Amino acid sequence: MSIETSWFIPVSEVPDAGVRMSPASTEAERQALAASLDILGCTALDCDFRLRPLRQGRYHVTGKVKAAVAQACVVSLEPVDSVVEEDIDVEFWPQDQIAVASKTDDEGEFFDPEAKDTAEPIENGRIVYGRLIFECISAGLDPYPRKPDATLEWQEKTDIGEVHPFAALAKLKSKS
């Protein structure tokens, strides 16, 4: 089961005062998350956020995501354990409002000067916060994980002779 698509809340279930959420992940969900992120593993995933309604059918999500992950070292390919911590501060809007907010006043459409650039769409009456968590973890991963003691041993070739594009052909010619 994929966290990206299975972690959601219908907007009809969000109370007027908002809701605090700390969803628990299963081992299968963490394995699926690791596979989706193309990493070696995800041993822990902690999420704590608050979802509160705004005006015009919009919702604001704030909180934190923390994940313990294992990635392959770029030098030795051994596992490198790390913790990804990311803050969440995103608004979810109805899809028709996202399209309208991107238009300008010159086109005669609604324009919200206070609109955030990070608005996510409400999909089929649901706030899919799983995709948001996936994106936060993905953005927080080390692009070049490296074990502290990993070294790349480089050996210079000492007997390479004259190097030019036709060196191999020159060797063949001298043999014939």
2-60 tens-digit pLDDT = 777 789 999 999 999 999 999 999 999 999 999 999 999 999 999 999 999 999 999 99
Q: Which residues contact 131 (CB under 8 A, 6 or more apart)?
A: 4, 5, 120
CB of 130 within 8 A of CB of 62? no
Model pTM?
0.72
DSSP classification of residue 59:
E
